[in-house]
Amino acid sequence: MTVHPPVTEHCDELLDALGAFRASAHVTERWGRRLSDVLGGGGRLLAAGNGGSAAQAQHLTAELVGRYRTDRPPFSAIALHADTSSTTAIANDYGVDEVFARQVCAHGRTGDVLMLLSTSGASANLTSAADAARAAGLVVWALTGPAPNPLTAGSDEALCVEAASAATVQELHLVAVHMICAAFDAALERGMP
The pLDDT value recorded for residue 59 is 97
- The pTM score is 0.94
The pLDDT value recorded for residue 193 is 42
Residues 6+ apart with CB under 8 A from 191: 36, 40
| pLDDT < 50 regions, the chain | 193
The pLDDT value recorded for residue 192 is 57
| Closest among 160, 185, 129 to 27, alpha carbons compared | 160
Report whether 174 contacts 59 (CB < 8 A). yes
Phi-psi region of 140 (alpha: psi -120 to 50; beta: other; left: phi over 0): beta
The pLDDT value recorded for residue 10 is 87
CA-to-CA dists, residue 80 to 3, 5, 50, 115, angstroms:
40, 38, 10, 10
- Cα 148 to chain centroid distance, Å, stands at 17
